[in-house]
């Protein structure tokens, strides 16, 4: 099987080219074709010799996807379902969102997810495998080409737990971040985790400069454990210790995601517990009106409760905002479209 050339970061590609008897400066030329020109074939790399193009064609793939489905919301959000082309069931989702500051893409990091969060559409569908670095990047390239735009922000919040595919995600970030690659600054990249504590420490020590989002959803171990089984492995106390370490090491604010579910975690008592937990921390709370999924047991909080919850936190000095709902008419929450497609 051919190797996906987009799995190599610039340094690795130089080594790879050396190993096939080529000059290392070719790596930068190839990077330009891959990430600036977004080519569909090695043949388009016209400043490489015919001989090298042939060698690349014979030994490597460009890891192109097939667009299985594309849905567009009335608010401009686009949801893509990609077939990664190694198995017809290996389908992933990516979402393109348009903001006043530019285009943002929510990428998947795995085909399926092992975390089992009870509010998530990816739960209950078999985990297939980790995405390779090249497959993470290809989501961006396919969307840039199809929508004829340039992405300026990336969030790892699609299907999968990015910190459960740590090495491939980090390598993808190296390529995304490289000025000769996609040239997207680290502060425009956000990683969202369900709370894999040891990897939060690794991320803090690695100084990559990305934004960290932690899915909290409750500050109470019992409730959080019901929503997120990971809490039984890494309870809130351990998670907060890791978050404080991250802040101390990086001096960066953590964004805590809090999906408000009616009569579950959305009353004032919950807001009080949350305010107590985050008091004094360099943190921001992102309140998310929960998306109702098929068979899911949670439903969306009333607008009144959402506003009360936000105001309570703000009055306690904790910055909290309500996330704007994008693409609700096309089931833009992660995993929903893939779930429907697999059922078919």
The residues annotated with a catalytic role in the active site are: 93, 334
- Nearer Cβ to ligand SF4, position 7 or 109? 109
Q: How far is the CB of 121 from ligand SF4 (least distance, A)?
A: 7
Q: Nearer to ligand SF4 by C-beta: 113 or 337?
A: 113
**Whose Cβ is closer to ligand SF4: residue 7's or residue 165's?**
165
CB of 194 to ligand SF4, least distance (A): 4
- What is the phi/psi pair of residue 158, to 5°? -85, -150
Q: Give, in order, the Cα–Cα distances in Å from 51 to each of 13, 45, 183, 240, 271.
A: 18, 12, 29, 55, 65
Shortest spacing between CB 36 and ligand SF4, in angstroms: 31
Taking the complex as a whole, how short is the minimal distance between the CB of residue 183 and ligand SF4, in angstroms? 28
- DSSP letters along 130-188, please? EPPHHHHHHHHHHHHHHHT--EEEEEE-SSS-GGGGHHHHHHHHHHHHSTTTT---GGG
| Cα–Cα distance for residue pair 179/126, rounded to 1 Å | 37
C-beta of 158 vs 181, nearer to ligand SF4: 158
Q: Are strands 110-111 and 129-130 parallel, antiparallel or unpaired?
A: antiparallel
Angle at 199 between CA 198 and CA 200, to 5 degrees: 90
Nearer to ligand SF4, 52 or 113 (CB): 113
Q: How far is the CB of 123 from ligand SF4 (least distance, A)?
A: 5
Q: Where are the alpha helices (DSSP H) in the chain?
A: 10-19, 26-31, 50-59, 133-147, 166-177, 197-206, 221-227, 230-233, 236-250, 268-278, 303-315, 336-343
- The rounded Cα 89 to chain-centroid distance in angstroms is 20
Of 9 and 291, which has the nearer Cβ to ligand SF4?
A: 291
- Answer yes or no: are the C-beta atoms of 227 and 198 closer than 8 Å: no
Q: Tokens 């893409």 correspond to what residue?
A: 105
Q: How far is the CB of 21 from ligand SF4 (least distance, A)?
A: 43
| CA distances for 81 relative to 18, 34, 226, 238, 332, angstroms | 36, 22, 30, 36, 11
Q: Find out whether 57 and 43 touch, Cβ atoms under 8 Å.
A: yes
SS3 of 7, please?
A: helix
For residue 184, give the nearest of 141, 132, 247 by alpha carbon: 141
Instruction: Give the integer Cα–Cα distance in Å for 11 and 45.
Output: 20
Task: Give 103's strand partners.
Answer: 98, 151
Least Å distance, CB 119 to ligand SF4, is: 7
In the complex, the residues that contact ligand SF4 under the rule CB under 6 A are 113, 115-117, 120, 122-123, 159-161, 194, 334
Q: Which is nearer to ligand SF4, 113 or 141 (CB)?
A: 113
């Amino acid at each position: 099987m051919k190797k996906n050339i987009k799995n190599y970061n610039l340094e690795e590609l130089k080594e790879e080219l050396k190993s096939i008897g080529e000059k290392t400066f070719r790596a930068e030329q190839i990077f330009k074709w891959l990430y600036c020109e977004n080519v569909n074939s090695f043949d388009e790399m016209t400043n490489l010799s015919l001989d090298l193009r042939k060698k690349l064609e014979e030994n490597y793939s460009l890891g192109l996807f097939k667009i299985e489905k594309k849905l567009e919301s009335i608010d401009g959000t686009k949801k893509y379902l990609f077939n990664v082309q190694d198995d017809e069931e290996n389908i992933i989702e990516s979402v393109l969102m348009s903001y006043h500051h530019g285009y943002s893409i929510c990428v998947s990091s795995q085909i399926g997810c092992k975390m089992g969060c009870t509010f998530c559409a990816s739960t209950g569908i078999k985990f297939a495998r980790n995405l390779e670095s090249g497959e993470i990047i290809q989501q961006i390239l396919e969307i840039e080409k199809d929508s004829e735009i340039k992405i300026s922000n990336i969030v790892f919040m699609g299907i999968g737990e990015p910190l459960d595919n740590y090495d491939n995600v980090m390598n993808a970030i190296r390529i995304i971040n490289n000025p000769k690659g996609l040239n997207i600054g680290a502060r425009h990249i956000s990683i969202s985790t369900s709370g894999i504590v040891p990897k939060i420490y690794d991320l803090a020590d690695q100084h990559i400069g990305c934004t960290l989002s932690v899915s909290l959803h409750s500050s109470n171990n019992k409730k959080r454990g019901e929503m997120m089984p990971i809490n039984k492995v890494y309870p809130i106390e351990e998670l907060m210790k890791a978050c404080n370490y991250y802040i101390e090491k990086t001096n960066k604010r953590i964004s805590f995601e809090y999906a408000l579910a009616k009569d579950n975690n959305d009353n004032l008592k919950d807001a009080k517990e949350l305010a107590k937990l985050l008091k004094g921390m360099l943190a921001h709370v992102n309140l998310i009106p929960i998306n109702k999924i098929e068979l899911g047991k949670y439903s969306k909080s009333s607008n009144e409760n959402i506003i009360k919850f936000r105001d309570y936190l703000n009055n306690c000095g904790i910055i909290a905002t309500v996330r704007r709902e994008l693409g609700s008419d096309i089931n833009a929450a992660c995993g929903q479209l893939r779930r429907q497609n697999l059922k078919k």
